[in-house]
Chains A and B, each alone.
Chain A
Amino acid sequence: MLTPVAAHRLAGLLIRPVAWGAGLFCLVGLFLGLIEPVADGDPAVMSKVLLVSIPATWVSVLLFLTLAFWAALGLILELRLPYLLVQAVAPTGGMFTFLALWTGAIWSKGATGVWWSGDARQVAELMLLFLYVTVVGIPVLVSDSRRADRMMAVLAVFGAAYVVLLFFAMQWWQVAQSDALAGEVPPTLSAQGGIAVLSMTIGLWMYATVAALMRLRQIILERELASWNNTE
């Protein structure tokens, strides 16, 4: 495992190429997606929202799973770097969850006529948002950074298992009740739309990586400086 100093340099080297990749994939995705309807039978405006909504949802969930992975690694191996990564990824994940929530609400309004249809995806995203807010809020509320790290890590691991469980439980519940409720019908993507969404997902994931790496460098500087000067 890297020392924070080495991680700082590695992150610095990675930022530029990954950022270019992010821009490329996003541009390709937007171009493919905007010239034609993304989903079958959807009015043109609504289907464009899917270009952001679906990738943002995937990225937010993947980021939380990454968060939980690094948290578990930190708890098991007792190293400094995984905890720093947890703190670096969390705000980005929160932003993507927020984005996924309101773009999902816009799509929901177009497809079912209400902003909040309470289906598995929306509820899971809302819970994910609360979990992210908590993970981001812990270092703010708890002044002892060592204890804050471990609290975030335990919450991340516990929360990830819980959200996965919640999502599948709710999906099962909604399939079981789908004849009684007018639930949200998941969109069917056209072939070109599928490629566009995939491209956007990769692009947004790369953007999230860049943001996390930049934040990681900042966190390393702040916390390592604090420990050198004994001002923690």
Chain B
Amino acid sequence: MLRIFNCILRRDLLIAYRRKSDVLTGLIFFVIVVSLFPLGVGPEPNQLRQMAPGILWVAALLAAMLSLGRMFSFDYLDGTLEQMIAGAAPLGIIVSAKILAHWLVSGLPLVVIAPVLGIMFDLPGESLRILVISLIIGTPVLSLIGAVGAALTIGVRGGGVLISLLILPLYVPVLIFGAGGVGAQASGMGGDAHLMLLGAFLALSLLFAPLAAAIGLRISLE
């Protein structure tokens, strides 16, 4: 089973490496969106500092949503997905490997860039630390839940809108606790509780999302 996981992981990473433009699109979108906000709301540092966690998290959400289409669509278009579903390997393992590859390629770069952008908002070091931790815990949840949405909407005509509608309500708790944690840290209450709740979401989605995505794949391709 581990061999299947590694095989699919390496394959997806290799494909992503060969299609760098898709990967960079999400990252550049993130950077641009976050950079637009100080221009829009004015340079007043207190206001920027307060808004920063929310802005960074919403931009991460949107960038994650943008990149979700890539998860299954290429394999669907050339028929590999059908082979994966019809094959003997457990679909949950395959989906888990794809989700991990997606996070490594789309989520992890966001986590790396976020502190740099946080400096633009004049976030203090402690807030930056909590922000990065919340993103590290939260972006895998985004990939996991997004996989369920992507699996359900393969090949659908109004795909983009449908994915957004499907996924956004499920993303909101991650946003609330992710951004809230940084805000709580800044106001002195300590963001630990928020981070622990985020961890709970991560644990639950690690358990259920690959399963739900596998079911969604079977439904979409039956």
Contacts and interface: CB of A to CB of B under 8 A. Distances in A.
Contact of A133 (B156, B165, B193, B216): B165
B190 to A, nearest CB: 11
B181 to A, nearest CB: 11
Interface string B173-197: 1001100100010010100011001
Contacts of B197: 169, 173
A131 B169 contact: yes
Contact of B152 (A155, A162, A169): A155
A142 interface: yes
A113 interface: no
Contact of B173 (A131, A151, A159, A169): A169
Nearest to A172: B197
A109 interface: no
B212 interface: yes
Interface string A167-195: 00110010011001000000000000000
Interface residues of B, number: 32
B157 A142 contact: yes
Q: Helix, strand, loop or mixed for chain B's interface? A: helix
Contacts of B158: 141-142
Interface in B144-182: 148, 152-153, 156-158, 161-162, 165-166, 168-170, 172-173, 176-177, 180
Interface string A136-154: 0110011100010011001
B172 A127 contact: yes
B169 A141 contact: no
B17 to A, nearest CB: 32
Q: Helix, strand, loop or mixed for chain A's interface? A: helix
Nearest to A134: B165
Contacts of B184: 177
17 contacts: A123-B172, A123-B176, A130-B165, A133-B165, A134-B162, A134-B165, A134-B166, A138-B162, A141-B162, A147-B220, A154-B152, A154-B216, A162-B173, A169-B177, A173-B180, A173-B197, A180-B189
Interface of A: 123, 127-128, 130-131, 133-134, 137-138, 141-143, 147, 150-151, 154-155, 158-159, 162, 165-166, 169-170, 173, 176-177, 180
